Amino acid sequence: MSESSKTAVKKQTGGRVPPEPQPVQQPELHLLEDIDALFSQAHDLRGTLQEITKIITQRIGTDVCSLYLLDSKGERLTLWATTGLDQTAVGKVSLDKHEGLTGLVIETREPVVAPDAMTHERNKYFPETGEERFHSFLGLPMSDKDKILGVLIVQSRSRRRFPQTEVRLLRTIATQVAGIIVQARVQDSLKTKERERQDYRARMLAAIQRPSAYERRRAQQTQRPGRASRLRLTGISASPGIGSGQAHLVHPVVRLDAIEEHHTNNPDAEIQHLRTALMRSIQEINALKERVQERLPEIDRAIFDVHRMMLEDVAFIEKIETQIQDGYAADTALKKVTEGYVETLERAGGEHLRDRAADVRDIGQRVLRHLLGLEEKSGPQGENLILVADDLSLSDLCRVDHRQLKGVVLANGGATSHTSILAKSFEIPTVVGVEHAAVIQQGDAVIVDGNAGVAYVNPGAEIVREYSRFDREYRAFNRNLEEIHDLPAETRDGVRIALGANIGLLSDVDFAKRHGAENVGLYRTEVPFLTYSDFPDEETQLALYQRVLTSMEGKPVTIRTLDLGPDKYPPYMKLPQEDNPFLGWRSIRISLEMADLFKVQLRAILRAGVHGPVRILFPMISSAEELLQVKNLLTQAKDELQREGKLFDPLMPVGMMVEVPAAVWLADRLAQEVDFFSIGTNDLIQYLLAVDRNNRKVASLYEPLHPAVLNAIATTARAAQHAGKRVSMCGEMASDPLCTLVLLGVGLDELSMEPFFVPVIKRLIRSLSYTDAQSLTQEVTQLGTAREVKGRLFSTLKDLGMIELVEMYR
């Protein structure tokens, strides 16, 4: 060591000069060499990482070595490989990047040592790993430049402190492993692009019988080392029910980003090829427009007109042809121009423009498919299909016979997306937001539990038996429910409760009637507003409402006015920047601020009343002032229609939703101004308990049977009853059989729910005595905790002999 080096070391070590560093011992050198060899030989990332954990435990002499990798969003860590812990935990154990000692490694970006991890304040225990046997913990970040990819962990049974030599060695190994991860991902990307390039060239050269996208996907899947086994994937329940079948992967046929740069010596031929592809794309869009209109009349066909107009846009076509004249092949020219449009729109920012960028990309890929001579992929054939995709478009769904579908699993999407709405309408069990859906392979056996928001991949015999038993009982129960289809929801002592259906699409009406709903207790009018290119006009809205009334054949329909919110703004509206959007500009507040457009909807609803019994419902009323403003606008709409000589229902019943605490405490006053109340429990519970049920951190606190919620419902019901007004409920609580016991005893006149739940709620009501329900409700509303309430209600269901049947629907 030089004198200058020794001086520097003295400053760092308080004057003590450490002994000269010794050469790396041979076992350590062999360990680094072994891992370096894996780096050059790595083909399968998961298998390589598993081998690394095995080598480290053997050479270091520790009991456990595990590797956790961050997901693509950098938010969650998942166990990818381990030696020493239970192997069944691999791929299942997942935690937030801020959780546990592993999360502490991410936060500090430094090694974390805990001689006794089980007593550390940051420890997070996963029973499925069996790690309670191990005490000492050492975690090191695996980083590529400034980006953390995951955490390397070693553990031992004995309580010990890891010497600095081991920490340094493992830190070096963590860097090597990070390199392996990056290299494997790059290789995987290069292999994918190479396959796509080879597919492209084959398609361009082949004159006949090109392989379909389905066949290519199937070929790729068979090259994988093995199928996923016995995985439980969690997501968000978007459509209830349980279905099982074989996985069918849905993916784009072609992608612009897979196109390599090609040139041409015959630009005239390429231009002609482009024009043919444009013409065929336009014909395809026109056909798709008609197909969607037939299945989903609420969806504005103008979205397809926008696509067609771009394909006919002179500037767009001229830019592509200019690129061709400069020597680029048609596919490359299309890619350059399309990606230029996309980049411009994405740089401009804003959700609306990002949606337009997605439209442009979709249009470009449609034209590219025709340039390659590929037909639009047909829907999957066969029975018992489970669709698996990143996301599904409306055109994807329209190519599938919903009678073939047993379930849908999506990596993206939301519970209120068009895909989810359509799946719910067809009563197809659907789980969305499944982070690890990509592990599902073509042909895998999948059980979709839309009630619990879970998908089982290649489930074991025990799970299959359990769900088979459940399915038999469910079918038998439904056969029994058919016997009461035409009977009223009437208690044993003669008190009748109206059971209505919540709908959002015209196609929902068929399901409402099929399940015996007596009316439409809630017609959500947001769908046309969310999908049209501008606010739908009065005649368009009237036509939709009229079709719903005609389909209901004289049964009452409650039409709720526009209930927009931060999770469902139409793209043509300019959104405010809000810190708390759910407490901001939404629902009736938007309608009152945009009074002219609001009156258009009021006029359409009033006119619809000529074609069948209609009740009008106003959402999110929080004060008497708001309600009086709304009623004033309704009076103005009536006066306008009267002057214009247009027919309307002047005596249409007017109701308001009780879904904010202020409305509960003002219920006595508000009841004087309306004909009925409708309790919206989804928002009411959220606002009462200050809980966002979509936030996993606090979702467990979202509790419909919380004493405060029950008392708010009882307060609202009493106010309506004192004023001689009807009171209903249209939130999800109305479809929960356990809650039915209390809601009946509170004195609600009507429950409205997803059509799927109507039969079981009817069966439960017909099994009860109204007098007993009142006594039970009086008892549970005096209890202090939700746990006590649930215990008492479960006991009652057990006494009725309905506990197992009711559990099917919870």
What six digits make up the tokens of 324?
Answer: 């061709």
| Contact by Cβ (8 Å): 100, 77 | no
Handedness of CA 576, 580, 584, 586 (dihedral sign): positive
> Can you give the C-alpha Rg of the chain in angstroms?
31
> How far, in Å, CA of 436 to CA of 248, rounded?
16
CB 207 within 8 A of CB 175: no
Distance, CA of 304 to CA of 617 (rounded, Å): 32
Tell me the HSE value of 234 on the side-chain side, using a 13 A CA sphere.
Answer: 6
Q: Which residue of the set 370, 515, 730, 739 is catalytic? A: 730
Name 700's Cβ contacts closer than 8 Å, sequence gap at least 6: none
Contact 688, 712 (CB under 8 A): yes
Query: Comparing C-alpha atoms, which of 406, 422, 411 is closest to residue 389?
Result: 411
* Neighbour tally for 488: CB within 10 Å: 14
The candidate with the shortest Cα–Cα distance to 395, out of 366, 430, 438, is: 366
**Which residues neighbour 684 within 8 Å (Cβ) at sequence distance 6 or greater?**
658, 659, 660, 661, 664, 709, 712, 731
d(CA 568, CA 570): 7
Catalytic residue among 418, 436, 515, 706: 418
Task: Spell out the residues 6+ positions from residue 697 whose beta carbon is closer than 8 angstroms to its own.
Answer: none
730 part of the active site = yes
What residues does 138 pair with on adjacent strands?
A: 113, 154
| Among candidate residues 217, 225, 212, the one with its CA nearest the CA of residue 249 | 217
DSSP state for residue 87 in the 8-state scheme: G
- What is the rounded distance in angstroms from the CA atom of residue 54 to the CA atom of residue 57? 5
Six token digits for residue 653? 């019943």
Contact in structure between 98 and 106 (CB atoms under 8 Å): yes
Q: Is the distance from CB of 388 to CB of 413 less than 8 angstroms?
A: no
Helix/strand/coil percent split, the chain, to 5: 50, 15, 35
SS (H, E, C) 625-646: HHHHHHHHHHHHHHHHHHHHCC
Helix (H) or strand (E) holding 523: strand 519-524
d(CA 451, CA 203): 44
Angle at 810 between CA 753 and CA 727, to 5 degrees: 30
Task: In whole angstroms, give the CA distance from residue 212 to residue 251.
Answer: 12
- C-alpha 175/C-alpha 70 separation (Å) is 15
- Do residues 447 and 460 touch, judged by C-beta distance below 8 A? no
**CA–CA–CA angle 292, 298, 303 (5° rounding):** 60
Where in the sequence numbering do the catalytic residues fall? Answer: 418, 730
